[in-house]
Amino acid sequence: MHVEVPDSYRGNVVDLLTDIEQLRVEPDQLARVVIDEQSGIIVMGENVRISTVAIAQGNLIIRITETEQVSQPGPFANVGATTTVPRTEIEITEGEERRLGVVNAGVTIQELVNGLNALGIGPRDMITILQAVKAAGALQAEIQVM
């Protein structure tokens, strides 16, 4: 692959590479969850995200919190930049108290599914939960039922 350097970047290729690295690229593939209700199969793409939503099922409580932490290079480091890094914590409890669990924005579907799997939630209940999250407008994906 060859890149032709525009005249405005002649002698300053580093700026060109920096501008190329910062380009936003929109994926052509939609985030999708495919569900086969008869067999209980759920297939999810990696781009599926969940907006803030509250979930309660029976005596299941799910709390997913994401906090931003600052990450800095070491003192006198010549490379690196100060950035914020998301730290996600998942807390799942199953008890007698029946409360509503809040799932915060930016949580991946994988994190939610991992939490549900840890409690032994079966595919059929998971399908129902995913469809309810979509109906609430909090699932950032298309659901395709087979």
Closest C-alpha among 117, 112, 100, 118 to residue 139: 112
Which amino acid would we find at residue 25? V
Q: What is the pLDDT of residues 100-109, one digit of tens each?
A: 556 666 677 7
Which band of pLDDT confidence, cut at 50, 70 and 90, is reported for residue 26?
A: confident
Helix (H, G, I), strand (E, B) or coil at 28: coil
Tokens describing residue 82 = 């100060």
Q: What's the confidence (pLDDT) of residue 96?
A: 57
Structure letter (DSSP) for residue 78 = S
What residues contact 40, with CB distance under 8 A and at least 6 apart?
122, 123, 124, 127
Q: What is the pLDDT of residues 40-81, one digit of tens each?
A: 888 887 778 777 776 766 666 666 666 677 777 777 777 777
Structure letter (DSSP) for residue 13 = H
Q: What's the confidence (pLDDT) of residue 95?
A: 60
State the pTM of this model.
Answer: 0.51
Q: How far is CA 126 from the centre of its chain?
A: 17
Residue 28 to residues 19, 25, 47, 126, 129, Cα–Cα distance (Å): 22, 9, 11, 27, 27
